[in-house]
Structure 1
Amino acid sequence: MDTVEPVAREAPACLDHPAFRPEHVMLRDQLRRFVETEIKPVAAAWENKGSVPREVLRRMGALGFLGIRYEEAHGGAALDTLATAILAEELGRSTYGGFAITVLVHTDMASPHLANGGTEAQRARWMPGIIAGEIITAVAVTEPDAGSDVAGMRTSARRDGDDYLLNGTKMYITNGVLADLVFVAARTDPQAKGSRGISIFAVERGTPGFSVGRALDKQGWRSSDTAELVFDDCRVAAANRLGAENRGFYAIMRNFQNERIVLGAQAMGEAQAMIALALDWVRQRRAFGATLWEKQAIRQRLAMLSARVAAARQLVYHAAWLDSLGHDCTLQVSQVKALCGELVNEVAYACQQFHGGMGYLRESAIERMVRDARVQSIGGGATEVMLEEVAKRLG
């Protein structure tokens, strides 16, 4: 009997994780359509304005994109960390890092403090509005002298009857101008050393003593507002404290894991988009009698970058999968943040180089993406800090 040799089918350029379920695939398809039809055609205007319009966030809320991980009782979809990585990657692929980070701070860096540490009454009060995009959130941890070193925090919260009085300054706060609700970390025990004695408070816009010191002018992420926040005897009800007093540091560290997966996924979405832009350019740009794609050095460099991005992307989804199973994946998450933050910058540099003079013009997407990528090795845990986290666990 004759036998027929099986024919191998070429795999897609970017394979998804084996743990993906139909709802993950559906979410990716919905996000990709939304970005292509409702974000990319209009987002350039937001770069000049310096913020994302609130109606865009409300639209995302109506489509179910702002409550992917949250409980259905408040309007969420109750999905997992893999879904979070999908959201971040697709927003990164938009080519507008400022838009992406505006959304991701709201969904995965600020509001998780309420979802994970809030009481049922606190969640019922704010979560429906957060998921609907009616209440925009920010998280205020970083200070002028305490960035990745959270233990160096100086902002204080002194108990005064049924309230706390907050005093201090927070710096580099994404959504700081836009936010209706800010989750503020402050030292509640002045005698405690290092990471001890920190608590987290939900502070609403308009609370007396809370003000935006100034909006900050940044190199990249231009459509994301970033601010200095000032607390001057800001009176916050004790009922607005999230979780137990003096236990806020652990909540911050817990959420850093999610934040770093998100930033890694966003970076790999950006890297994929940059490679796609570069491929389109080098296939049409002619120099010395041939297209740039016909130059071996260029196409091999792009081929290697695509391979490294594919590998880093799989590490992101592996860390997300481990997190979704409840494993301690601090090592993998720290590797994700260090690797992806550096790799996206390497991809940006190369793709801008391949664009030549066009890549240096503000009218080109690659120029914007180069500026946006730079912060990926700084924010959410600088590369050097992440490498120390990895090194501590190598033994």
Structure 2
Amino acid sequence: MDSSYNEELNIFRETVVKFIENEIAPFYEEWEKNKIIPKSLWHKMGEEGLLCCDIPEEYGGFGVDFNFNMVVAEEIAKAGFFSLSTNLVVHADIAAHYVLNKGTEEQKQKYLPEMVSGECIGAICMSEPGAGSDLQGMKTTATKTDKGWSISGSKTFITNGQNSKLYIVAAKTNLEVATAKGLTLFLIDEDMPGFSRGQNLHKIGQHAGDTSELFFDNVEVTEEHVLGEIDKGFFNLMEELPRERLALACVATAHAEGALALTTDYVKERKAFGATLSKLQDIRFKIAEMATEIEMHRVVIESYKQKLANKALSTEQASMAKYSATEMEFSVTNRCLQLFGGYGYMTEYPISRYFLDARVQTIYGGTSEIMKEIISRSILGR
């Protein structure tokens, strides 16, 4: 990357940091208590050009690359506002790109400009009660009708579930074959008859991020609501996974960086046994260990960003990044909390939120166990 590109990225980063300081930090605790991020914040982010930056200009975006999206998500994660970072990744780096890459021109024109402006928040709906990451266990079905399709079933653990206006829903369209060969994606609008939201689920972390159950009771859709090809939904999912998993690895690394920065400041001030903690060799070594782990991941993440830009990032590499970075993130936040002692267990100390928010990162987007299975298959075969 040349110097002018880096300068442009840094200027954009400064804009993001100022936005965080002015529009997020003063209000985030209230959002955590209310267990939802107000839609007005999404509108403000849209007005500032912080949503879906890499969507092409003809659909309202800037047409820049993945790095700009990650500047927004990573800086928010680094600052400790991880609920928003997660919800943002689902909207801007997952849902919007399904529409961009699999949608018809009419679908792109309908949804993408509003996703860029924040008027339309997106969600991706895969997980189901009793199935989780196992798509083979999916029970939501789409039955052919004279006018199109009738969708029935339920989803759970859906990020942006309460706030979304657009839901990308996976449903089985061919019951005679394995799910992988009979899955289709549909675009469901929030006001469609038969669609309803369940409760905003109560989680141990990421409280401000709305995560919901969704229900589909014979939701009638037309062929215009099919995203991609009939029965090709599983393959569409596989094509988008490298970007999704790299994005999760990026925010994991940034989140760990933020936790370490917070902890470094604390050990420089906190005294024990007649000296600041930062003077104790054991503490110094722990800081050195974490800084090294984070730096190694940062180097890999940056190189993988370039691979993604060149369409050269493999599913296996994205799985390695997601697995390793999220495991590192939780390990770092855990060790950082330990260095705060009893205060780390108190909710008024932000490190406690870093720790709790990080826990789910090794679960959603494909568990660590699933990532290891994908990696091992690439090396050893099935």
Range of TM-score over shorter length? over 0.9
Amino acid at match of 1:200: L
- Report the Cα distance in structure 2 between the residues aligned to 1:20 and 1:315, rounded to whole angstroms: 20
Q: CA deviation at 1:173?
A: 0.1
Among residues 164, 177, 187, which one is paired with 1:192 in the alignment?
Answer: 177
Name the CA distance, whole Å, in 2 between partners of 1:310 and 1:29: 22
Q: Note the 1:342-353 alignment, pairs <5 A.
A: 342-353=327-338
Cα separation, 1, equivalents of 2:250 and 2:186: 28
Which residue identity lines up with residue 306 of structure 2 in the other structure?
W
Residue 120 of structure 1 corresponds to which residue in structure 2?
105
CA positional deviation for 1:246: 0.7
**Residue 237 of structure 1: how far off its partner (Å):** 1.9
1:20-71 superposed Cα distances (whole Å, 9 cap, x missing partner):
6443333322222222232122211110011111111111111111121101
Which of 180, 201, 206 aligns to 2:165? It is 180
- Between 88-97 and 221-230, the greater mean CA deviation after superposition: 88-97
Q: For 2:299 and 2:130, how far apart are their aligned partners in 1?
A: 35
Amino acid at match of 2:51: L
Deviation at 1:209, TM superposition (A): 0.8
Are 1:288 and 2:296 counterparts?
Answer: no
Alpha-carbon shift at residue 167 of structure 1 (Å): 0.8
- The match for 2:84 is 99
Per-residue displacement from partner, 1:171-202 (whole Å, max 9, x unpaired)? Answer: 10011111111010111111121311111111
Is residue 173–residue 182 contact of structure 2 (8 Å, CA) maintained in 1?
yes
Q: Matches of 1:99 and 1:156 in 2, distance apart?
A: 31
Moved more, 349-358 or 315-324: 315-324
> Is 2:10 the counterpart of 1:37?
no
Counterpart of 1:65 (choices 50, 54, 68) is: 50
Q: Which runs of 5+ in 2 are unaligned?
A: none
Give, in angstroms, the shift of residue 86 of structure 1. Answer: 2.5
For 2:349 and 2:242, locate their aligned partners in 1 and report how far apart those are by CA, in whole Å. Answer: 34
Residue type matched to 2:243 in 1? N
Q: Which residue of 2 aligns with 1:219?
A: 204
1:53 aligned to 30, 38, 54, which one?
Answer: 38
Which position in structure 2 is the counterpart of 1:318? 303
Say which of 381, 390, 395 aligns to 2:366: 381
Could you tell me which residue of structure 2 aligns to residue 108 of structure 1?
93
Structure 1 unmatched ranges of 5 or more: 1-15
Give yes or no for the alignment of 1:201 onto 2:186.
yes
Distance 2:347 2:84 in 1: 17
> Secondary structure of 1:389's partner?
helix
Which letter maps to 2:119? E
Aligned to 2:314: 329
SS in 1 for 2:179: coil
Instruction: Check conservation: 2:252, 2:329, Cα contact below 8 A.
Output: yes
State the AA in 1 paired with 2:267.
V
Alpha-carbon contact 2:153-2:216 (below 8 Å) kept: yes
> Given residue 86 of structure 2, which amino acid in structure 1 is its aligned partner?
I
- Is the 8 Å Cα contact of residues 28 and 86 (structure 1) preserved in structure 2? yes
What amino acid is aligned across from residue 98 of structure 1 in structure 2? S
Match of 2:141 in 1: 156
Q: CA RMSD in A?
A: 1.7
CA distance in 1, matches of 2:249, 2:194: 36
Question: 341, 359, 363: which one pairs with 2:326?
Answer: 341
Could you state the TM-score of these two structures normalised by the residue count of structure 2? 0.96
- Structure with more of its chain in helix, by fraction: 2
Deviation at residue 88 of structure 1 after TM alignment: 2.4
Please give the residue correspondences for 1:221-370 in structure 2 after superposition, counting only pairs within 5 Å: 221-370=206-355
Letter in 2 for 1:45: E
Q: In the TM superposition, what is the alpha-carbon distance from 1:18 to its structure 2 partner?
A: 9.3
Provide the rounded CA distance (Å) in 2 between the counterparts of 1:314 and 1:87. Answer: 19
How many residues align structurally? 380
Residue 346 of structure 1, CA deviation: 0.7
1:164 Cα deviation (Å)?
0.9
Helix, strand or coil at the partner of 2:284: helix
The one-letter code sitting in structure 2 at the alignment partner of 1:285 is R
Aligned-residue identity in percent: 33
In structure 2, what residue type is equivalent to 1:327? A
Q: Is the 8 A contact 1:136 1:180 kept in 2?
A: yes
Aligned counterparts of 1:106 and 1:366: Cα–Cα separation in 2: 26
For the residue of structure 1 that corresponds to 2:199, the secondary structure is strand
Cα distance change on mapping 1:259 and 1:241 into 2, 3 Å: same
1:394 shift after superposition: 2.7
Question: 1:17/1:101 Cα in 2 relative to 1: closer, same or farther (>3 Å)?
Answer: farther
Give the deviation of 1:359 after TM superposition. 0.7
